[in-house]
């Protein structure tokens, strides 16, 4: 018998289908449970430019009283961000009600969160603070920042 010669018509098809069926069963057994997909996309640009040393919590503020947050970062030109959400969803908007004296604040949606980014002024070290109102609702986030060089 020569290479590739069949002994019975269709014998190779049966073997191929058997191997495919067995492979499908093995792959199905290895599948991980599906997690709920994020409703909002996360882009690489949203993660770029962060401070190398940043400590800020994730919060779920409510409208009843202000949520106080402590943020610590090293001033290397990067931002540090507080993640906020309402029942696992981002807020629609954020309004800076009290501006920082020595930096800038940027409020935007990143994935399923609202991220409140603080970037200190160049060369600044010390304490700073700011307050953001998140809407819908009257949720206030008061951030006390400690910046080191």
pLDDT at 35: 43
Give tens-digit pLDDT for 100-126. 999 999 999 999 999 999 999 999 999
Strands (E), the chain: 54-55, 58-59, 67-74, 80-84, 93-98, 103-110, 113-120, 126-135, 139-148
Report which of residues 133 and 2 the model is more confident about.
133
Give tens-digit pLDDT for 66-77. 999 999 999 999
pTM: 0.72
Query: Beta-carbon neighbour count of residue 54 at 10 Å?
Result: 17
pLDDT at 128: 98
Average pLDDT value for residue range 11-15: 57
How many Å separate Cα 118 from the centre of its chain? 16
Report which of residues 53 and 9 the model is more confident about.
53
Give tens-digit pLDDT for 21-58. 655 655 555 444 444 455 567 778 778 889 999 999 99
Going along the chain from its start, the domains and CATH numbers come out as 50-148 (2.60.40.2020)
Residue 71, helix vs strand vs coil = strand
């Amino acid at each position: 018998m020569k290479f590739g010669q069949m002994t019975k018509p269709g014998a190779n098809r049966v073997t191929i289908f058997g191997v495919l069926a067995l492979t499908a069963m093995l792959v199905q057994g290895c599948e991980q449970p599906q997690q709920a997909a994020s409703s909002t996309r996360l882009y690489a640009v949203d993660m770029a430019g962060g401070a190398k040393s940043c400590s800020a919590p994730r919060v779920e503020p409510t409208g009843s009283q202000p949520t106080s947050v402590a943020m610590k970062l090293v001033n290397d030109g990067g931002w540090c961000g507080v993640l906020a959400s309402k029942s696992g969803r981002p807020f629609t908007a954020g309004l800076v009600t009290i501006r920082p004296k020595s930096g800038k604040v940027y409020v935007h949606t990143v994935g399923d969160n609202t991220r409140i980014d603080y970037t200190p002024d160049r060369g600044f070290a010390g304490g700073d603070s700011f307050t953001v109102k998140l809407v819908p609702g009257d949720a206030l986030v008061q951030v006390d920042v400690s910046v080191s060089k």
